[in-house]
Amino acid sequence: MTVALVLLSAFLHAAWNALLRLERDKDRALVAAIGAASLVASAVAGVRWAAGAPAPFPGAASLAWALAAGGLEVVYFTSLARALESGPLGPVYTISRGGALVLVWPLSVAAFDERLTVASLAGSAIVLLGLGLSSVGLPARAARAGRGGALAWAVVCAAAIASYHLAYKAALSAGGGPSAVFAVSLIAATAINVLRLGAEGRRISGGIVRTRLPRVLLMGTVCGASFLLLIEALAAGGTGFALTVRNTSVLFAVGLGWAIGERPQRAQVTGAILVAAGAVLMAW
């Protein structure tokens, strides 16, 4: 059951990135979708609390870390939108997720006393090789605005992913309820994004909601469900096991990229496979 939950979470995560890739105005469409995702997460957290779950935030530390994760999510969502504006889904997704894995691992060793092993070192090297191959799949046209821009934003996205994962881990370690932590994080991210857009951006984002409501709700629901399913899997099984299986999302992203009309290069496919294989070693 745990494996099925994690695989479904991985597919849904790659799927909402694919939906975003199809949007013309990715930044403003993403803000609208994350607003929908925050409603989904809040509903789940509310139902659990009403059903007798413990207090979602037993202390100020867990709430503070959840809010910090929300701020980091803003950087993630913004950089993801920028990367997908100038690069195809497969390599952007692989670089952002694989890069985050390489970044979060040494930080977790330092901050949370996670073990350093030969397998994790070897896995990190394989992930780095996969990231290098994946960058070949970025567009070569208009090097500064195309390939270079997509790569730079994907790297920023990777750093944001690594950072908000550490913030989530700190919030959960302080006793925060998983679904409540995620809900508060998304609500904070939505509020910051709405302010960031400015008056004109909010007007355009509101227009997207009015004219494309079913698609916005679909993207937001898929995004929220992908994270909530992962939380369920983490509660039911080992963390390392769950996160390792979820890294199959890089392979789903390559397949979904092909489904929406992108044609991945051989180096790109090989890079995604290496990132997934390296992740397995890192969590061995």
50-to-24, 46, 176, 180 alpha-carbon distances in Å: 40, 6, 16, 12
For position 67, what pLDDT does the model report?
96
Instruction: Look at residue 146 and give its three-state secondary structure.
Output: coil
Pick 265 or 14 by higher pLDDT. Answer: 14
| 227 has a pLDDT exceeding 60 | yes
**DSSP code for 22:** T
pLDDT band at 107, cuts 50/70/90? Answer: low
pLDDT band at 284, cuts 50/70/90? Answer: low
Q: Which of 7-16, 52-61, 98-107 has the highest mean pLDDT?
A: 7-16
Alpha-carbon gap, residue 153 to 132, rounded angstroms: 15
Helix 213-236, helix 239-246: angle, nearest 10: 140
**DSSP code for 53:** P
pLDDT band at 214, cuts 50/70/90? Answer: very high
For position 221, what pLDDT does the model report?
94
pTM for this structure?
0.84
For position 189, what pLDDT does the model report?
94
Residues 225-250 have a mean pLDDT of 69
Pick 69 or 280 by higher pLDDT. Answer: 69
Classify each residue of 151-183 as buried b or exposed e, where b means 16 or more C-beta atoms within 10 Å of its C-beta. Answer: bebbbbbbbbbbbbbbbbbbbbebebbbbbbbb
Reference 97, options 272, 284, 281; nearest CA is 272
Environment class of 210 (CB within 10 Å of its CB; exposed 0-12, middle 13-18, buried 19+): exposed
**pLDDT tens digit sequence for 37-77:** 999 999 988 888 888 777 788 889 999 999 999 999 999 99
**pLDDT tens digit sequence for 142-179:** 444 445 678 889 999 989 988 888 888 888 888 888 88
